[in-house]
Structure 1
């Protein structure tokens, strides 16, 4: 088995334990990854007021799938993605509270779906799935929110007036996040593989 195959099951027996307690180093690692994710997403305010449905997810798609994949594949414990959503939301809660709660809810749903299918993160595919679903899940929730606050909202009006383009944007977000999750898994597993080789050579 190749160590960097993202769809292979991990060989570590300890990863068979579904619910494991978070250690301080786990929290620190997830906080660092979340901080990097936020820094690389600093261009988001530029498009925050562009009235195009899905434009924010397009801008954040790569970062909000690549770094969660790296975080989850390193800390294979249910709740890792939720911690990342909380850490990244520290800034968002002041800028856009709705986006913060939406990301937190979608992190929970993404982890729940992955858990129901794979029963934990002991398979690389489960890490890929959770990190992939994370941001695209915000699309239907934000659409519903825009409808609730009023169809006269610019984003809601755009989505309602241009449904085909809104669907295309949503599809692009899904594809972009799949690419980001794949790259994040490859990077994380490659780093883990090199770390093991370095440790074995000592």
Structure 2
């Protein structure tokens, strides 16, 4: 072929290559980068409560049974329409014992070899704080309102530690801890309200 015949073929080839490159580049532009899934956030009612079915049956039974001393105190006083100081004191003492139990469980969590919570000053120190708070609460047993408020503060502090400072706890345990703490706190606050509403009646009247 002559020179004039070869030029159109080269132009056609170049046009074809440029068209292919343009087509490939347009496909590359259409591809969107794969977005990473958002991180899982701690949301009790959305995530953790769904894992309650994974909780061991003994943990559920013993956990909910442990609420009986908390709930029975205000229910009894409401049914009698009386404020019973002995019953209120027993409820606060039980709350103080639960605080000591929660601190001891964290101590035991930090001691085993390979535990994510190392037995350092922070973890072991925080483990004994609930027991100290419980002891302070009992020192104010002459004023059941102050004593109950201290126990409520201790329960809230202990829950915060379990949910945020020990993230390796199972999800079902965090949900169970939150439910138990909420019921216990509401029961203690209910006793304080009853004290201000109903007349006081002691089982053993002072002579």
TM-score by length of 1: 0.31
Q: Which has the larger radius of gyration?
A: 2
TM-score by length of 2: 0.31
